[in-house]
Amino acid sequence: MDPSPGERGQGNALAWTLSRSPLVEKTFCIPGNGGIATGDAKIENGPPGISMVAFARRVDFSKEKNVNLVIPGSEEPIVQGIEEWFRKEGIPVFGPSKGAARLEGSKCFAKDFMARHSTPTARYWNCSTVEEAYSCLNNIDYPLVIKASGLAGDKGVLMPSTPQENRAAVHTMMIQKLYGEAGAEIVIEELLSGDEISITLVSDGSLLALFPVGQDAQRILDGNTGANTGGMGVYAPTDLLSAEQIDRITKTIFESTIKGIRDEGMAHVEDTHVHLQLILYRAPFHGLHLCWSDDNI
């Protein structure tokens, strides 16, 4: 087996979990790290020097080692289509196709996708130029968040609190390129207030299976202050959602998303990680991730 997110603690957790199974003989981690390299004979780092997107080398290594399941974890290889490389060689992959991974790779695309399929979501405006963004801001009088559309390691979100800070956030993201090309397009989105809930599900494109509901701590300082991070920790289960609310979320968000992926020919989804925010008795959709995150571990 070959889980990809080996350069982070996430990779350690996945490898350790897989190694507990009697069905797993060996787990190889690419690129791996020092923590993975010690302590368990069933876990091994892959060869050094294989980059995150060196798909041909990963396929060759997997064939050499008779790998029978690949678990890509990090966003970049998933978005760039690692699943297709292994599928063409007949090696099963637990992860989304390149088509479905567009929902991870572009927040602009994901928000438009939700709108097309009537999936509950915060009000938003996709902007590809600074002028367009400033024009949108001139017509909005409620709290906002500014998001880089592309991949930014779960950190591409600014949370301004005044009209002046709104414009400064756009300038920082699109002109100063705080998040590089990930911020070439941005989403200006209504700020949703309430408890943030993380729900992970797996699907074969038809059936859904939900993991326990968790709560993710993303802000870097106490009191939910400071910048966003890739995750400061998560706990699960949490009792913030009732069974009735989970059932409603499943029908209005999860089933809608999977059906939309299927209807638009975006191929299959085998792991969908969803963040949403709960406000009173309604649950607008906040964001969609199609990769392993700290909430999965």
Residue 57's identity, in one-letter code, is R
Confidence band, pLDDT 50/70/90 cuts, at residue 33: confident
67: three-class secondary structure by DSSP: coil
Specify the pLDDT at position 166: 96
Six-digit token string for 117: 């399929």
In the prediction, which pLDDT does 158 show?
93
Q: Residue 254 in contact with residue 201, Cβ under 8 Å?
A: yes
Return the CATH class of domain 123-190: alpha beta
The dihedral sign for the CA sequence 296, 11, 292, 127? positive
* CA-wise closest residue to 253 among 270, 234, 236, 277: 277
Domain segments of the chain as ranges: 2-94, 123-190, 195-296
171-221 confidence digits (pLDDT tens): 999 999 999 999 999 999 999 877 778 888 888 777 888 888 888 777 777
Mean per-residue pLDDT of the chain: 82
CATH of 2-94 given 3.40.1030.10, 3.30.1360.200, 3.40.50.20, 3.40.50.12780: 3.40.50.20
Rounded to two decimals, the pTM is: 0.84
Residue 37's pLDDT band, with cuts at 50, 70 and 90, is: low
CATH code of domain 195-296: 3.30.470.20
- The confidence score (pLDDT) of residue 279 equals 43
pLDDT tier for residue 272 given thresholds of 50, 70 and 90: low
Beta strands in the chain (DSSP E): 2-3, 27-29, 43-45, 70-71, 124-127, 144-148, 157-158, 186-190, 195-203, 208-210, 215-216, 219-221, 225-228, 234-235, 272-278, 285-289
**Could you report the per-residue pLDDT of 144-168, keeping only the tens digit for each?**
999 999 998 777 999 999 999 999 9
The pLDDT value given to residue 4: 47
How confident is the model at residue 296, as a pLDDT? 45
**Percent of the chain clearing pLDDT 90 (strictly above):** 34
Tell me: the pLDDT tens digits for 93-146? 888 888 888 988 999 999 999 999 998 889 999 999 999 999 999 999 889 999
Give residue 293's pLDDT band: very low, low, confident or very high (50, 70, 90): low
Higher-confidence residue of 178 and 44: namely 178
Which of 51, 50, 113, 132 is CA-nearest to residue 260? 113
- Higher-confidence position of 291 and 49: 49
Taking residues 246-270, report their average pLDDT: 83
Where is pLDDT greater, at 251 or 40? 251
